Amino acid sequence: MKFDIFFSISQTPVDSYLPTEREMFENFFEQVIAADELGYETAWIAESHFSTQAQKSHRHPVVPHWEGEVGLNADIFQLSHLIFQKTKKIETGSAVMNIVCNGGPIAAAEKVATFCTLHGMNPSEKRKINLGFSAGRFEFMNRVTGIVPRNSFEESVWPVLKGKIFIEAIEIFLRLCKGEEISSEDISHTIAGSLKKQKSSRKTGAENFFNQSLVLMTH
């Protein structure tokens, strides 16, 4: 039987003491080294973006009760390089990487390519980084980068529409990771296609949304 291990790196008060970010990462590396020595296969590491503490002051906070930061890892690729330097066998995994915010799927695929190039420069290093990805752990992480409904119609169907945006992001991300050269015309019209039975005016709006969705996801 094989075992993996999950890390969140949550910076939250313990007995009224809030550890620094440096202390949190020092503790994390001690634990991941121990996990490597104990024989765990993969260290799955949570990813978070922006400040959980700061978003509490928003008029619509997503995580209103949390004290401190829900997670400090914002880049699995940088973290993996250091983990591989400090350990011998354990692999890493993103749990999970947001491919919608912070430049969208194009920027995410570019990070994968850069990591693989640098990682491959060490011929003795055969370990892998395992990529788990999603549309984000919390809604506020996407709001900051413009992933929000832009009109009343989009707001009325937003739970479905943001899922369609994620489907487009998946296709873009995976095809770029495979090394394909693509344009917006090559991507499946998942948003427009899902609303074919709507009135013609609404259908046109959906098609316009698709035409702009790549811009939305990459800014």
Q: Which tens digits make up the pLDDT trace of 54-113?
A: 766 667 766 667 777 766 788 999 999 999 999 999 999 999 888 888 888 999 999 999
**Stated pTM of the model:** 0.76
How many Å apart are CA 75 and CA 44, to the nearest integer?
13
How many Å apart are CA 106 and CA 96, to the nearest integer?
17
How many Å apart are CA 104 and CA 109, to the nearest integer?
9
How many Å apart are CA 211 and CA 185, to the nearest integer?
9
Q: Are 92 and 76 in contact, with CB atoms under 8 Å apart?
A: yes
Query: Which domains does the chain carry?
Result: 1-146 (3.20.20.30), 149-219 (no CATH)
